[in-house]
């Protein structure tokens, strides 16, 4: 018998999943599914169960019930569509600038425009309030210049505030997704069109945009999905006259105590978001024109024409006004004290000192230091839960077969579920010890982990698929145990992607507000819920404390995005080398 008839076991099976002992291979499938079944599908079933009562209870038998649902759904769709169009209008020119032009401060600005995407909505609301609110810098400046007694800019509680905040949040998606594709397009296609006599506009219309269509559709659907499920922006900046499905779920459940109606609204929203998620996955799976791997600035050049210079400085001016000014106003509001009767502002750290004072004699006081501690602890637990489960899921998805496809769909469903709906499901299901939503603190990081899990899995999967099979084979031939093969082959390759996934999960946990608003107890708030409660209470001290805590949360998120950018840049450079 020749050696080819009896190959070594390692050669026949490059990597056996059952060899991941002491964890049986079945754990790769069972543990995530048990977690999802208990903390995602069971709460979702509770929401659907209450939905059945919603058709006959809670006032839904009124003749205007259908009109109420249509009004809320109509406004939700309208504001999401309008926000998406405005985001595309700014994001597409900005994507071209970052893909094809070279200018000073480009890398720093790239990080800056990404920062709003991971900021909590309450921080964005605080930033716009500090700039354009009744007591914001813009109104104070205009009142001082023209001797006005009332703020001339009425920005808060308007549709314009909602739209501006949505563009503030999501323009980074367009710039990153479309800009990355634009920077990788083969320039010879555009050169060929120009050589055949096509004008720049015709080349853009008939060559470039068709090639970029999948990336543009994918980014636009993702922006629309986020705008459709927007909660904190509409709740804080829109005011009571603007109600999306997400805000109505929150209002009906927590303020009106109308759980059947809240469940019905949640089911309607879930149906819509699932349709959007399916469309997004279909677009993601469409055939794309092959892109050429190149360094990010390989095709970039300094502005050559007057039109390029005008476009560059015009788009940069809008980005600075939209992103930098609100953040700068937020920071200034946290360290400057304006006298009530007018006069020059003075530097103060009073609002930051307030964060370290626990005023137990105040019924409505929130210990801010406790909120910071809670957020950090929940964030670390979210990283632990989501990375552990995400790693198992990423390995499980590497196994071919129908079960893997079913698992992938099951795991990615939280991407299409509103955090507010998830929080409502927790309230409906976990209402008795030991899993009481109001007394079992681990439910908060569990909810955060469900929100972060799709992002973690998507971050780990490409790195896992990039592990060369021959490295595992070589380690097995040399006698390495399964555990040692994982520690010395897989783990070093996965470590960088795992670090990026962990930072994503941490920042998602820090900023999560929808589910947390249902699950956190009044005496143990997180930073976003504490900021929201500060903003909801009168008094300059409460307002200043909300600004100070928002700045702290802003700094944490800024540090996180710098870490993510550093990890991704090193990974890209290593791959190109």
pLDDT at residue 374, rounded to an integer: 87
pLDDT tens digits along 92-129: 999 888 888 888 888 788 778 877 877 777 778 778 88
Residues in CB range of 54: below 8 A, 6 or more apart: 60, 260, 261, 263, 264
Task: List C-alpha distances in Å: 551 to 248, 278, 326, 473.
Answer: 29, 37, 12, 50
Whether residues 251 and 334 share a domain: the answer is yes
pLDDT tens digits along 444-492: 899 899 888 887 887 787 777 767 777 776 777 777 777 777 777 777 7
Dihedral angle, C-alpha 502, 507, 509, 513, nearest 10 °: -160
> Has residue 13 been placed in a domain?
no
Phi and psi torsions of 83, nearest 5°: -65, -40
> Has residue 349 been placed in a domain?
no
Whether residues 389 and 513 share a domain: the answer is yes
CA nearest neighbour of 521 among 451, 462, 440, 459: 440
Whether residues 327 and 389 share a domain: the answer is no
Task: List C-alpha distances in Å: 247 to 130, 147, 241, 242, 326.
Answer: 23, 38, 11, 9, 24
Whether residues 311 and 439 share a domain: the answer is no
Radius of gyration of the chain, Cα coordinates, nearest whole angstrom: 26
Whether residues 189 and 97 share a domain: the answer is yes
pLDDT by residue for the chain (577 residues), tens only, comes to 444 455 444 444 444 444 444 444 456 667 888 888 888 888 888 877 776 655 555 445 454 667 788 888 899 999 999 999 999 999 999 988 888 888 888 878 877 887 787 777 777 877 888 888 887 888 888 888 888 878 888 888 888 889 998 998 888 888 887 887 787 776 777 777 778 777 777 777 777 778 888 888 888 888 898 888 888 788 888 877 888 888 888 787 777 777 777 778 877 887 887 777 777 767 665 544 444 444 455 567 788 888 888 988 999 999 888 888 888 888 888 888 766 655 566 788 888 887 777 555 555 556 667 788 888 889 889 989 998 888 888 887 776 555 656 666 677 777 667 777 788 788 888 877 767 666 677 888 998 998 888 878 877 877 777 677 777 767 777 777 777 777 777 777 777 778 778 877 887 888 787 788 778 777 778 888 888 777 777 777 777 878 888 888 888 877 877 777 676 666 555 555 5
pTM for this one?
Answer: 0.74
> Has residue 543 been placed in a domain?
no
> Has residue 122 been placed in a domain?
yes
Residue 24 near residue 32, CB atoms below 8 Å: no
pLDDT at residue 455, rounded to an integer: 78
pLDDT at residue 294, rounded to an integer: 47
Whether residues 444 and 383 share a domain: the answer is yes
Residue 368 near residue 530, CB atoms below 8 Å: yes
Whether residues 81 and 229 share a domain: the answer is yes
Whether residues 408 and 483 share a domain: the answer is yes
| Domain end point (choices 469, 500, 519) | 519
pLDDT at residue 11, rounded to an integer: 45
| Domain end point (choices 339, 366, 397) | 339
Whether residues 396 and 512 share a domain: the answer is yes
pLDDT at residue 80, rounded to an integer: 92
> Has residue 473 been placed in a domain?
yes
Domain range for 514: 24-44+379-519
Q: What letters, b where the CB count within 10 A reaches 16 and e where it falls short, cover 449-486?
A: bbbbbbbbbebbbebbeebeeebbbebbeeebebeebb
pLDDT at residue 93, rounded to an integer: 92
Count CB atoms within 10 A of the CB of residue 325: 17
Q: What's the CA gap between 29 and 33, in Å, rounded?
A: 6
> Has residue 15 been placed in a domain?
no
DSSP letter at 322? I
E strands, 372-467, in order: 431-432, 435-436
Whether residues 38 and 59 share a domain: the answer is no
Quote the number of domains for the chain.
2
Residues in CB range of 244: below 8 A, 6 or more apart: 72, 75, 76, 79, 228, 230, 231, 234
Whether residues 333 and 305 share a domain: the answer is yes
| Domain end point (choices 475, 493, 519) | 519
Q: What's the CA gap between 368 and 12, in Å, rounded?
A: 59
CATH for 386: 1.10.3720.10
Whether residues 270 and 291 share a domain: the answer is yes
């Amino acid at each position: 018998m020749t050696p080819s008839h009896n190959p070594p076991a390692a050669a026949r099976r490059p990597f056996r999943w059952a060899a991941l002992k002491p964890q049986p291979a079945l754990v790769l499938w069972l543990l995530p599914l048990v977690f999802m079944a208990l903390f995602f599908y069971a709460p979702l079933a509770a929401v659907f169960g209450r939905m059945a009562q919603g058709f006959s209870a809670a006032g839904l038998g009124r003749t205007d019930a259908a009109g109420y649902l249509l009004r809320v759904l109509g406004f939700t769709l309208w504001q999401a569509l309008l926000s998406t169009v405005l985001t595309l209008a700014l994001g597409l020119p900005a994507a071209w600038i970052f893909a094809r032009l070279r200018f000073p401060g480009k890398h720093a600005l790239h990080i800056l425009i990404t920062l709003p995407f991971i900021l909590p909505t309450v921080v964005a609301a605080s930033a716009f309030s500090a700039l354009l609110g009744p007591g914001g810098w813009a109104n104070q400046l205009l009142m001082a210049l023209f001797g006005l007694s009332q703020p001339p800019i009425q920005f808060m509680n308007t549709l314009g505030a909602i739209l501006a905040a949505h563009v503030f949040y999501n323009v980074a998606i367009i710039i990153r997704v479309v800009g990355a594709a634009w920077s990788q397009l083969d320039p010879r296609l555009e050169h060929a069109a120009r050589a055949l006599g096509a004008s720049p506009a015709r080349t853009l219309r008939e060559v470039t945009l068709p090639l970029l269509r999948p990336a543009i559709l994918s980014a636009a659907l993702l922006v629309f999905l986020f705008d459709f499920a927007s909660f904190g922006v509409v709740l804080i900046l829109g005011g009571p006259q603007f109600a999306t499905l997400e805000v109505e779920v929150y209002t009906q459940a927590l303020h009106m105590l109308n759980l059947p109606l809240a469940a019905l609204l949640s089911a309607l929203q879930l149906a819509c978001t699932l349709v959007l998620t399916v469309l997004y996955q279909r677009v993601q799976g469409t055939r794309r024109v092959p892109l050429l791997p190149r360094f990010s600035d390989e095709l970039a050049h300094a502005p050559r024409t007057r039109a390029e210079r005008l476009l560059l400085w015009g788009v940069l001016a809008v980005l600075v006004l939209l992103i930098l000014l609100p953040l700068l106003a937020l920071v200034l509001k946290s360290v400057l004290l304006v006298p009530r009767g007018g006069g020059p502002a003075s530097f103060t750290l009073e609002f930051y000192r307030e964060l370290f004072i626990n005023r137990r004699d105040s019924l409505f006081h929130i210990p801010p230091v406790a909120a910071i501690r809670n957020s950090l602890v929940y964030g670390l637990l979210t990283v632990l839960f989501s990375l552990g489960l995400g790693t198992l899921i990423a390995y499980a998805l590497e196994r071919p077969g129908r079960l893997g496809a079913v698992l992938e769909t099951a795991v990615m469903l939280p991407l299409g579920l509103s955090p507010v709906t998830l929080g409502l499901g927790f309230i409906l299901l976990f209402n008795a010890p030991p899993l009481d939503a109001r007394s079992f603190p681990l439910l908060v990081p569990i909810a955060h982990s469900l929100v972060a899990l799709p992002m973690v899995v998507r971050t780990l999967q490409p790195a896992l698929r990039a592990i060369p099979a021959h490295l595992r084979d070589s380690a097995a031939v040399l006698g390495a145990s399964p555990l040692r093969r994982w520690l010395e082959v897989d783990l070093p390759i996965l470590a960088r992607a795992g670090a990026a996934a962990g930072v994503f999960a941490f920042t998602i946990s820090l900023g999560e507000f929808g589910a947390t608003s249902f699950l956190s107890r009044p005496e143990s708030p997180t930073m976003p819920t504490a900021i929201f409660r500060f903003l909801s209470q009168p008094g300059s001290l409460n307002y200043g404390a909300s600004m100070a805590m928002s700045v702290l949360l802003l700094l944490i998120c800024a540090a996180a995005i710098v870490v993510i950018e550093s990890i991704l840049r090193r990974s890209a450079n290593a791959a190109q080398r």
